[in-house]
Amino acid sequence: MPTDAPSNLPPVLRPDAPPTHSLADLAARFATATRGELSGVTLTGITLATADLRPGDVFVAVKGLNRHGAEFAPLAAAKGAIAIVTDSTGADLAAASGLPVLLVDDPRAALGDLSAWVYNTGRDDHLPILFGTTGTNGKTSVSHLLEGILEQLGATTGLSSTAERHIAGQVVVSRLTTPEAYEMHALLALMRERGVEAVAVEVSAQALSRRRVDGIVFDVAGFTNLTHDHLDDYADMREYFEAKLPLFRPDRARHAVVCVDSAPGWEVVSRSAVPTVTVGTPALASDPDAAAGADWVVDILDERQAGTEFRLTARDGRTITTLVPVIGRHMAANAGLAIVMILEGGYTWERIAGALDGQRIEAYLPGRTELVSGESGPAVYVDFGHSPDAFEKTLSAVRRVTPGKVVMLFGADGDRDATKRHDMGRTAVEGSDILVVTDHHPRFEDPDSIRATLIEGARRAQPDAEILEFSPPERAIIEAVALVGDGDAILWAGPGHQDYRDIRGVRTPYSARELSRRALREAGWPVPEPHWPVPYPQHETPASDPLRPVYPPA
């Protein structure tokens, strides 16, 4: 019997009291044909993975790259599945399970609608207000800003981002940027059950292409930007852009708010099929005059280590002045987008202005230009950015609040879009005084080769720049801290909030935030208490410490 490996990922979150449905009703609504006895069988859940399967579930078996999911039907039956949904190819394979089999033309395409029906999370099922944000960079930041602002308004919130899932205060580590459809609908059902009023969801292009948000209609869809990334998944930037557009159709969203600081934003506006409002930040925009003509304009007032102060102004003269607690003009743009999305979601201007005008936005953005150092000594920022555009914006932000030199520390993902590596090296060296190249997630690639490509891109741009190479990253951060003093800054880009490195398919425990704090402490600099959980008590470093630096042989 085939087996699928147990997942080492966080569990799927489901409602405590899931709806109960008749299998016969499901078949009548979705199946083109059935095999086996359906009468008297009830279901309480649905899943695509046997690792997530619970008794009472329908198991949806899809054809993968190497094997058909229907091969796992006997395992699904042993774990308590009550039926198999599959295609004609999988039907004969599923027969070995002895379970009823429901045939659909395309199980993957049907999964969103199936899940919405199972969990009663369709268009008219009294869901929380749903905010969905797409774009290359800024999705996670906007999602966390949405949640923070909504909580300032007194709302009970939910969140689904690259970093975390939040359900009325409960925090769970994320599995994917956007969950699979069955997980997404179960999560929404749980949020509704817990009394969540509004939910911020990060929606990747892959989520739209792979139908992970099928069956969901967002009250407001937001767009941040489109820059070079993900060409391992898409043939070119045009295909990547087109993959995001379905979010702006009536079957996916009711309203849209679009950042128009770049040409792709204006194209989204022109092609959006739902009522659309624009937000522009002239200080960032490729066409400042066009951005200044947006429905809402973000003006940067002050940049300091504590955050970025800005004014948001509407065409009719309404204004809010507030501070986003992260450095960078792009973070002010993200906050402006979030505020307008909340307004378009039905919250009144008076309520929003009352909470924000003259006040600080109370939001925590894990691993987004996150300051992990203390009040004295060098500033160390850990960031999730992993594209040339993200490097350029974040380095520029660090430069504007740093009186001394800026050190850039970064690596690149293995087995991902390699076409951006030269540009990553170029933007990194152009924006820093000293560049330190290290490893990130090598996956199954040779990390030496990845580093060589990054350095090649940097050397082409600035042949005489100070470029250093250290592996592993545990050593690199120690070496980087040795290069800086009071008034200097280090930007460690790539790992952000993540608590592991992917090395040949193994998730190795790892925290750039905690490694940075240790390096600072060992260099004699004070460090504050962390916002994030650490793997063991402070100052205790056992011999088996997974974060202990391991130096390569001389």
Domain residue ranges in the chain: 21-119, 129-356, 370-522
- Positive or negative: CA dihedral 221, 177, 333, 388: negative
pLDDT at site 174: 67
* pLDDT band at residue 74 under the 50/70/90 scheme: very high
Tell me the C-alpha distance between 206 and 360, whole Å. 34
What's the CA angle centered on 261, arms 255 and 266, to 5 degrees? Answer: 55
**Residue whose C-alpha is closest to residue 491's, from 414, 358, 400:** 400
What's the CA angle centered on 35, arms 34 and 41, to 5 degrees? Answer: 85
Length of the chain: 554
Query: Does the pLDDT at position 231 exceed 80?
Result: no
Lookup: tokens for 336? 């402006």
* Structure-model confidence comparison of residues 415 and 1, the more confident one: 415
pLDDT at site 510: 87
Please report, for residues 1, 89, 355, 450, the alpha-carbon distance to residue 76 in angstroms, rounded to integers and kept in the order given.
Answer: 11, 18, 50, 40
Mean pLDDT of 274-299: 97
Q: CATH top-level class for 21-119? A: alpha beta
21-119 and 129-356: same fold? no
Percent of the chain with pLDDT over 90: 78
Mean pLDDT of 201-205: 93
Mean pLDDT of 256-261: 98
276 φ/ψ angles, rounded to the nearest 5 degrees = -130, 135
Mean pLDDT of 523-527: 95
DSSP states of 308-349 as a string? EEEEEEETTS-EEEEEESS-SHHHHHHHHHHHHHHHHTT--H
Find all residues with CB under 8 Å of 231, minimum gap 6, and list them.
237, 240, 417, 419, 420
The answer to whether 108 and 62 have CB atoms below 8 angstroms apart is yes
Mean pLDDT of 55-74: 95
Tell me the C-alpha distance between 255 and 150, whole Å. 18
Strands (E), 203-243: 218-223
**Residue whose C-alpha is closest to residue 85's, from 33, 121, 44, 39:** 33
Tell me the C-alpha distance between 549 and 215, whole Å. 46
Between the ranges 387-396, 401-410, 541-550, where is the mean pLDDT highest?
A: 401-410
The answer to whether 281 and 337 have CB atoms below 8 angstroms apart is no
pLDDT at site 195: 97
Lookup: tokens for 348? 């009144």
3-state secondary structure of 479: helix
The residue whose two tokens read 């599923």 is 94
Q: Which CATH architecture has domain 129-356?
A: 3-Layer(aba) Sandwich (3.40)
pLDDT at site 175: 58
3-state secondary structure of 317: coil
* Residue-averaged pLDDT of the chain: 91
Query: Does the pLDDT at position 347 exceed 50?
Result: yes
Q: Which amino acid does the sequence have at 6?
A: P
* pLDDT band at residue 144 under the 50/70/90 scheme: very high
Q: CATH top-level class for 370-522? A: alpha beta
The answer to whether 355 and 153 have CB atoms below 8 angstroms apart is yes
